[in-house]
Amino acid sequence: MKRKTGWVLGVFFTAWAALISAGVAFQKTDDEKQNGLTDVFDLSPAENIFYVKHINGIPSLRSFSENTQKDEEITSLPADRLITDIDVSPDGSAVAFISIREGDVIETGNIRTEVYILNLSSGRRELLLEGNQAASSLQFSKDGTSLYYIGLASERANLDIFRYNLADRTKKRLTALNSYSMSSLHVRSDGTSAFILMQDESVDMFQGKASVYTVSLDGKSVLKPYTKPATHLEVTGYAFHEQNGDMAYQAVANEETTGIFEYELFRYNNQMKQRQALTSFGTYAGSPVFHPSGKTIYFMTDPNFGNGEADYHLFKMDRDGSNKQEIALPE
């Protein structure tokens, strides 16, 4: 159903991107605490929308049903924390999420990551990982027994893909890429390979553009480009649906501008090898998530993009970009 969240450039940029994604770039006073919807969300197999909202500065992980209009808080964290990623288990029984402490990058230059799993029946929340591990881009395995994530491969801030076994609480490194720009993980259901968003690391990090690659998880770490960089603008986030082969991705729509970039969503299918514009909001559309059927794409817009505090709105549309509808989440 996923993947989302923008590019990263090493540990510092991982945290920076997370803070920007959550609408917070610096430590805020109590009067300035973030309120309202963030762009962090996922869909459950039962089609509930799991999303993150700040209420009086408190990050609240919530569940909303479009059918019944029922909205409830699943869990919350202290006001100095940010929830930067969530993933719902394949059977809908649990949700995993990542938290970082607001201000860590500015104050210490480090990221103190916490990875939790929450049992939705019992409400029990368990801490799985903590410390300077820079975990990002969580994904449950198809059988729900493991969690895949991007994490630190060394103290030198190199990133690789890991698998965390929920039964014996062990982790295993699956790639040896030692990347400085890896993000947006999507592991194929058979666990043999994964999609990742990476820059061309053969050039200067400030000149390379990010594209979607595939990487084998057999220990050989064979890396191949999935899209054609020559025919695509820089990709900054994506979601992939295995069954229909569609990729919905975010890219800059006005790359040549001297003003504020406009981020829009596009569709790409590797068989057609052509892109199709899906949105034209003229500001910001991103964080695509596929409905389990693959027929619908959920995404966020921010009409206030580039003008201060984010003002996120949740939308859905058919996979060809038609029938756009805003989903009215409770105030």
Report pLDDT digits (tens) over 233-259: 578 899 999 988 899 999 988 877 777
* CA-to-CA separations, 101 to 6, 54, 104, 112, 147, in angstroms, rounded: 19, 14, 6, 7, 22
Q: Rounded to whole angstroms, how far apart are CA atoms 294 and 291?
A: 5
DSSP string of 199-238, one letter each residue:
E-TTS-TTTPPEEEEEEE-SSS--EEESS-GGGSPPEEEE
Q: Which candidate, 27, 24, 86, 89, places its Cα nearest to that of 60?
A: 86
Whether residue 190 lies inside any domain: the answer is: yes
How many angstroms from the chain centroid is the CA of residue 185?
A: 8
Range of the domain at 106: 10-326
Query: Residue 161 is part of a domain; what is its CATH number?
Result: 2.120.10.30
Residue 303 included in any domain: yes
Return the pLDDT at 199. 82
Residue 3 lies in a domain: no
In this structure, are residues 162 and 176 in contact, taking their beta carbons and an 8 Å threshold?
Answer: no
Give the pLDDT confidence score for residue 157 in this predicted structure.
64
Contacts of 260 (CB under 8 A, 6+ apart): 305, 306
What average pLDDT does range 154-182 have in this prediction?
88
Place of tokens 């820059």: 199
The answer as to whether 99 is a domain residue is yes
Model pLDDT for residues 42-59, shown as the tens digit of each residue: 999 999 999 999 998 899
Q: Is residue 158 part of a domain?
A: yes
In a domain, 315, yes or no: yes
Chain mean pLDDT for the chain: 84
CA 12 to each of CA 101, 156, 212: distance values in angstroms, whole numbers, following the listed order: 14, 11, 21
Residue 284 phi/psi, 5-degree rounding, is -155, 125
pTM for the full predicted model = 0.88
Domain count for the chain, please give it: 1
Q: Is residue 4 part of a domain?
A: no
Residue 331 maps to a domain: no
